[in-house]
Structure 1
Amino acid sequence: MLALESGLEKLRNHIDDKQLFAAGAKLLLAVSGGSDSLGLLCLFSKLRLQRPITLLCCHVNHGLRGEHSDSDEALVKDICLKLNVPVICRRVQLEEGGDLENRAREARFEVLYHLLDIYNFDYIVLGHQQEDQAETILMNMFRGTGINGMAGIRIKQNRLLHPLLGFTREELQAIVTECGFTWATDATNEDTSFKRNHLRRELIPYLQAHFAPDLLDKLSHLASVMEDADAYFKQQAASRFKRRRIDKEPGLISFEIKGLKRLSDTELYYFFKHCYTEVCYEEMDFFNTHFQALKALMEGGGSAKLYLPNDVIAYREYENLSFSWGELETPELQEQTVEEDRVWAVFGGYRFQFKNLKLLPKGYEPDETNVILDADDIVWPLTIRSREPGDRFIPSGMSNHKKLKHFFIDSKVPARLRDQVPIIADGNRILWVVGYRVDERALPRESSSKLLQIIVEPVDDRPKRMVRVKQKGKKQ
């Protein structure tokens, strides 16, 4: 019983060191019938006698190898019966076509996650071992990868456990043999036309023979180092996310580009990936191509947007980079008419208060939510509306007309927000671009006999402070 006892001690130490699961855990073992997964089954069936855990075995029959697939299923059922481990077998039907290996994997995990949920189990436990880890790292390296890919298979990732990454295939085969069982063999694993099989059967043995006899140990160590590095950069990204976030709108996560440009490419990659995950709660679909596209967006000019997987949209809006899940709603706003005796009006989620004055209040300082206008020349009624084609006004501090479109561009108002900026006008004359500038001609004069004060405040879940870009010249 040397192989089994040694393997059990190794497994227990590994579980404790990595804190893979707590006492009383309910574990779903994925067992194909090969030596690795049968080694997993043998080890955990014995561990169950020493620790309070609940086991359920699952075998997925893809039906790709005819009677051989059925033979694998029968083998797993027989061994589970002898070990007194409950087993569920499921058959899946795969249509003909390319990328069969990945489609089979997806179908298999769909079954496993379904069982995990309906039986309320804690983890799916898989039998990947040291050689699988080496193959994964090398395959990732040849594809082109970073820290995350060089970390290979994670020991624990969400609800997946890989407790055998420290075992060799020979160790697991010795355990299965010692328990009195034989394992199934898949002839397709010998077909070196598949890249992974070529790696396993030819490249890894060549590297072991000519460069590093302990290649598997070295790659396992590399994976451990890279996993620690990956965790570090993720933690740093999460910290930066909290510190740099400057959200000004519901549904939008925003950051100043200036600070992001100081980050290294590695730091920026993890930061972008964290933003992506925060928006759509999905980490797996963010790749280097998306990072490069986001970096180009950030380094560009003006306003632009980028569509990412899982309905994530990134926006460059002048000095800010923002992320949203799906298109942001931009409700159509209804023009409001304000008669001379009206005190309140609501437009686009903002409440406007109108007060008639004769004198400027002592200590009055105009800002983006509180202005006083010369009312002598106002033609009633006023309107509160969105921008219209051809809108022009003379921004305070200037002497010439300026198209509102150009004013918004110069003020760096994001294009998607321009229709949401309230405009107060009398007839065709703009009096106030709310939150930005009053028309120069509407400013109070010493000769003004009537004044109109307008105060604006939010009435819904919009930002408490309206966006305002500093301008040269007068405050208004």
Structure 2
Amino acid sequence: MKKNSDSVYARFVTALREKCGISGGRIVVAFSGGPDSLALLHLLSRAREELAIELVAVHINHGLRAAAEEDLAFCEQVCRDWNLPLICDTLDTLSEARTRKTSIETAARDGRYRLLSHYAQAHRAEAIALGHTMNDQAETVLANILRGTGVRGLAGMTWRWNNRIRPLLGFQRDELLNYLQNEGLQWRTDETNESPAYTRNRIRHSLLPKLQEEFNPQIITALAHLAANAAEADEWLRRETGEALQRCLLFSSEKKIVLDIHRFSSYFSSVQKHVVREALERISRGEYRADFTDMQRVQELLSHGRIGKKVSFGKQWEMLLDHGCIVIRTQEQQAFTRRCKRGEKVTIPGIGEVTVSAPMPRTADLHLPPSRFEQLVDADEVKGEIIIRSVLRGDRFHPLGAGGTKTLSNFFTDRKIPLHVRGEIPLITCDAGIIWVVGQQIDDRFKVTTQTTSLLHLAFKEFTL
């Protein structure tokens, strides 16, 4: 018995070092009191001296079980017996699921990770240890296959992702139950793990046993091997995707990524789709994961789309086909309007700052250095209130030196200004019309002439990220 326990411990320490990259420091441990988390905490406790690690156990009541108080009492007793600090917290999972309009499983998982991350940061922990086993990996891979997935989904869970570690991925649940029995340890049983209301439970109690009985007795190991092979392929794809994204990148901010379409087109379609998926994950901060249907629509746009056509991802993000580039961004910025008094500075969030001087007399030596973002105009021609706003459909103005007026749309097209930039260009206007298309051109009516006696100095400072 002791020999088996020592073998499990030796494999566990090897996994901690080689798979999870642990060589000391503080670890926050998710501890529910169930068999997997109990085995995890016990093995980590045994390894404290050998690996020079400190442990902080965290128990979370998800508000779903009548026996939650008994679970808490059990976890408190275990941590007292093993001389470990324990933090307890509570989630209102049902309320969060209703608010976010998501499943109870998803709300519980996301809330749990949020609290664990909070305590890891508060205690300056190197890692968060989770009790996922090889069985959990098999269930995850099957769930992803049933939902529809690619290489990344087949890879399942990783040994380490950022600061989350899963040192039990190399162990089947039966091994850990035997380990606990050999060590004389009791554990808590969560009755919600038996409920067929949850997809994972149906996979665990119905699908996996049927696959084991009728197709492959070693299905759990086989699915774990599939995940490992897929993880290697995914690692290569991620590296290729990252290099392709950097090579194609023209511009990047929190809300927009612009890719060179000619360089982008030189890659195989499989790499193109992964580049779009990666860019979308960055822009959405991981909130949106593109699926197979999304990628079909992306491919259709790239193959047959015209300039100005878009593909939407949910209600917040989109991909736009533009002149010489592909734009992945949050949905177009809302139109903006700001009043600006003479002698005042106005900030347009996400765009920049516009300054309009007080009227000043014209002098012979007054001139500006060449700049797209500074202009002098005839103050007497600026009638009424000054408004700074975004472009509106049908806007017209008289470009400096031109024979007459033209629409801003045609003006932008003539100047080859990309579609994705046009909505971000401020217009300085007054009762008489557009004074300045910022960074581009003033209206001919407001130019400084020999008859000009009073000037306004207009300036724009672009926000940089």
Fold match by TM threshold 0.5 = yes
Q: Which moved more, 1:74-83 or 1:343-352?
A: 343-352
Number of the residue aligned with 2:453? none
Instruction: Quote the sequence identity (%).
Output: 25
Alpha-carbon deviation of 1:143?
Answer: 0.5
Counterparts in 2 of 1:197-208, with a 5 A limit?
Answer: 197-208=201-212
SS of the equivalent of 2:235 reads helix
- Structure 1 residues 339 and 417: alpha-carbon distance in aligned structure 2, compared to 1, 3 A threshold: farther
Matched, 1:236 2:240: yes
- Structure 1 residues 101 and 324: alpha-carbon distance in aligned structure 2, compared to 1, 3 A threshold: closer
1:344 to 360, 367, 372: 367
Q: For each residue in 1:388-430, what CA deviation from the matched residue of structure 2 results, as whole angstroms up to 9, or x when unmatched?
A: 955578999xx9998664353355423443895999xxx99xx
What amino acid maps onto 2:14 in structure 1?
N
What amino acid maps onto 2:77 in structure 1?
D
Q: How far apart are the structure 2 equivalents of 1:418 and 1:95?
A: 41
Q: For each residue in 1:410-460, what CA deviation from the matched residue of structure 2 results, as whole angstroms up to 9, or x when unmatched?
A: 55423443895999xxx99xxx99979xx9xxxxxxxxxxxxxxxxxx996
Alpha-carbon deviation of 1:184?
Answer: 1.3
Number of the residue aligned with 1:88? 87
What amino acid maps onto 1:62 in structure 2?
H
Q: For each residue in 1:262-282, what CA deviation from the matched residue of structure 2 results, as whole angstroms up to 9, or x when unmatched?
A: 4334312321233234445x2
Q: Which runs of 5+ in 2 are unaligned?
A: 334-349, 383-387, 445-458
- Structure 1 residues 2 and 406: alpha-carbon distance in aligned structure 2, compared to 1, 3 A threshold: same
Q: How far apart are the structure 2 equivalents of 1:253 and 1:332?
A: 25
Matched, 1:109 2:113: yes
CA contact (8 A) 2:20 2:167 kept: no
2:351 to 329, 332, 337: 329
SS of the equivalent of 1:88 reads strand
Number of the residue aligned with 1:192? 196
SS of the equivalent of 1:216 reads helix
Alpha-carbon deviation of 1:104?
Answer: 2.3
Equivalent pairs, count: 415
Counterparts in 2 of 1:140-159, with a 5 A limit?
Answer: 140-159=144-163
Larger Rg: 1
- Structure 1 residues 310 and 240: alpha-carbon distance in aligned structure 2, compared to 1, 3 A threshold: farther
Number of the residue aligned with 1:371? none
Number of the residue aligned with 1:219? 223
TM-score, structure 2 as length reference: 0.73
2:213 to 196, 209, 216: 209
Q: Which runs of 5+ in 1 are unaligned?
A: 354-380, 440-457, 464-476
SS of the equivalent of 2:109 reads helix
What amino acid maps onto 2:83 in structure 1?
N
Alpha-carbon deviation of 1:83?
Answer: 2.0
Q: How far apart are the structure 2 equivalents of 1:270 and 1:418?
A: 28
SS of the equivalent of 1:14 reads helix
Alpha-carbon deviation of 1:76?
Answer: 1.7
1:247 to 244, 251, 256: 251
SS of the equivalent of 2:276 reads helix
- Structure 1 residues 57 and 394: alpha-carbon distance in aligned structure 2, compared to 1, 3 A threshold: closer
Matched, 1:133 2:137: yes
Alpha-carbon deviation of 1:233?
Answer: 1.4
- Structure 1 residues 337 and 104: alpha-carbon distance in aligned structure 2, compared to 1, 3 A threshold: same
SS of the equivalent of 1:120 reads coil
What amino acid maps onto 2:163 in structure 1?
R
Q: How far apart are the structure 1 equivalents of 2:83 and 2:320?
A: 57
Number of the residue aligned with 1:470? none
- Structure 1 residues 223 and 246: alpha-carbon distance in aligned structure 2, compared to 1, 3 A threshold: same
Alpha-carbon deviation of 1:133?
Answer: 0.3
Q: For each residue in 1:39-65, what CA deviation from the matched residue of structure 2 results, as whole angstroms up to 9, or x when unmatched?
A: 111111111132200011111122422
- Structure 1 residues 401 and 60: alpha-carbon distance in aligned structure 2, compared to 1, 3 A threshold: closer
Q: How far apart are the structure 2 equivalents of 1:77 and 1:158?
A: 29
TM-score, structure 1 as length reference: 0.72
SS of the equivalent of 1:50 reads helix
- Structure 1 residues 183 and 422: alpha-carbon distance in aligned structure 2, compared to 1, 3 A threshold: closer
Q: How far apart are the structure 2 equivalents of 1:72 and 1:130?
A: 24
CA contact (8 A) 1:344 1:351 kept: no
Counterparts in 2 of 1:273-284, with a 5 A limit?
Answer: 273-279=277-283, 282-284=285-287
Matched, 1:28 2:61: no
